[in-house]
Structure 1
Amino acid sequence: LLLLDNFGKATGLRINLEKSSVAPISCGDIDLQDVLHGFGGPVVGFPLRYLGLPITISRVRLVHLQFILDRIRARLVAWKGRLMSIAGRRVL
């Protein structure tokens, strides 16, 4: 936590600990409880979402992106329908 405080003092940026979490990568030989003493945020695993996008340690697979593809398909259907003429909508 001291490191985060020093970062804030040096940059003028503050970390909102209520919105923060830790996702350790390759920390098998590190005592995370000791390192994260006083942090208070949750420790999460992978895969996780950041800004709505999946973050994984390995390659991103189709299953990780399926929710994005579903949203795009739903929007395309509505978009295509609006560009059709009334006669085309009736046929559809």
Structure 2
Amino acid sequence: MSEAKTTDDHNEIQQWAETRKGRPAKVKGALNDGILRIDFGEPENGLEPISWKEFFLIFDHNKLLFLHQDRTGDGKLSRFNKFVDRT
């Protein structure tokens, strides 16, 4: 099984997402700065597309880390990801 790893490197996060045809987004109607997501494929109704610049402003303001997996256990490109608190 492939292990997940964390990063706060903007370039690494953007490259990981774009390699999987992911786009930066946030949950529509969420309080505060919003809840970040990577949107894959067809845009989801509950998500609002945002720029990478806005994405990383929210990411840094909320002191997040990006937890992600590069490949699945059988070697396929993985889209597993989530955002976790740095502390």
Q: TM-score, normalised by structure 1?
A: 0.22
Larger strand percent: 2
In our comparison, the structure showing a higher alpha carbon Rg is 1
Q: TM-score, normalised by structure 2?
A: 0.23
Higher RCO structure, 1 or 2 (CA under 8 Å, sep 6+): 2
